[in-house]
Amino acid sequence: MSALRSFFDLLRANLASLVRPRRSLSMVRTLEAVMEAHRRGDYAAELERAEGFRAGTEITEQYCFFRGAALANLGRDEEAERWLRRHVTMRMLQKEKALGWAVLGDLLVRQRRFHEAMECFQTCLQLWPERPSSRRNIAEWHLRCGDDAGEAVRWAREAVERQRSGRPRSDGARRVHRLNLGEALATLAWAVSVVSGDRKEVDRLIVEAEKLVNCGSVQSAAQVHCQAGHAYTALGDVENGMWHFEEAARIDRQGRWGREARGMTFSMIEGPSSDNRRG
């Protein structure tokens, strides 16, 4: 999830000004441990390691964010929402608060609470207008609620264009940029498949997206495969769609994209047989 990577970068860049030096070193270690678990898709370990963000009995904004995000990946939605809502009420840097709203919006989309989710994404945009991934979130929102796939294409193309225009300076920033661009391309592929059915463009977008996320992030790879599954299914290519859903499920054994992919695979297998039994 691009929001976690961005929060990681923001927190690491600003630790020296946020906390005392000794506490800063401890938080860097916690941050590295949390993100290492996140990158390999071990969200249970991520949740456990996030305990390091607590300052004694004090609940910090970092603790609320990472705990909420890990719980969301583990499918513990009620707990996740409680911690994320607590996060966005706390005092912090504006961009960090924007990322909290983005993660909360993503959680609400999965619960089909679309109106609340859009309010979250709009708040994120207001707090951090130049963030490309907020536009990808809104594109996915349109695809999930099925109201206007043309708007999904527009928002996804804008996300891709803004990502492409980025000029990351460090190796770490370049890795994050690749992952974010890959996610945006996969969402665009899904949107294009729904609106125009342009198979050549969908193939091109997915091939590029897969290359970009093949650098060690379980969540990004699973997200790209899951959205590719949706894209090919929308094109009527059930075989390719099924393959991508199976890949997402294989890669992401604990997280939200793996659960969605397993659900889609099950419905694709069981759907026809269920219809036949009713007939």
Confidence label for 63 from pLDDT (cuts 50, 70 and 90): very high
List Cβ neighbours of 196 (8 Å cut-off, separation of 6 or more).
none
Q: Name the more confident of 56 and 221.
A: 221
Whether 180 contacts 167, CB under 8 Å:
no
pLDDT tens-place string over residues 256-268: 999 999 999 999 9
Confidence label for 122 from pLDDT (cuts 50, 70 and 90): very high
Share of the chain above pLDDT 70, in %: 90
Confidence label for 273 from pLDDT (cuts 50, 70 and 90): very low
Torsion of the alpha carbons at 198, 203, 208 and 214, rounded to the nearest 10: 140
Residue recorded with tokens 């860097």? 28
Please give the class, per CATH, of domain 1-129: mainly alpha
Cβ-in-10-Å burial (0-12, 13-18, 19+) of 45 comes to: middle
pLDDT tens-place string over residues 146-204: 989 999 999 999 999 999 999 888 887 888 899 999 999 999 999 999 999 999 999 99
Comparing 31-35, 134-138, 170-174, the range with the smallest average pLDDT is 170-174
CATH number of 146-279: 1.25.40
Can you tell me the mean pLDDT for 11-26? 59
Judge whether residue 121 has pLDDT over 60.
yes
CA distance linking residue 126 with residue 97, whole number of Å = 11
Closest to 97 (Cα-Cα) out of 135, 127, 120, 125? 127
- Residue 41's pLDDT is 96
- Where does the chain hold its CATH 1.25.40.10 domain(s)? 1-129
Judge whether residue 20 has pLDDT over 80.
no
Confidence label for 4 from pLDDT (cuts 50, 70 and 90): confident
Judge whether residue 18 has pLDDT over 60.
no
pTM beyond 0.85: the answer is yes
Whether 41 contacts 218, CB under 8 Å:
yes
Judge whether residue 210 has pLDDT over 60.
yes
List Cβ neighbours of 219 (8 Å cut-off, separation of 6 or more).
1, 38, 41, 73, 252, 255, 257
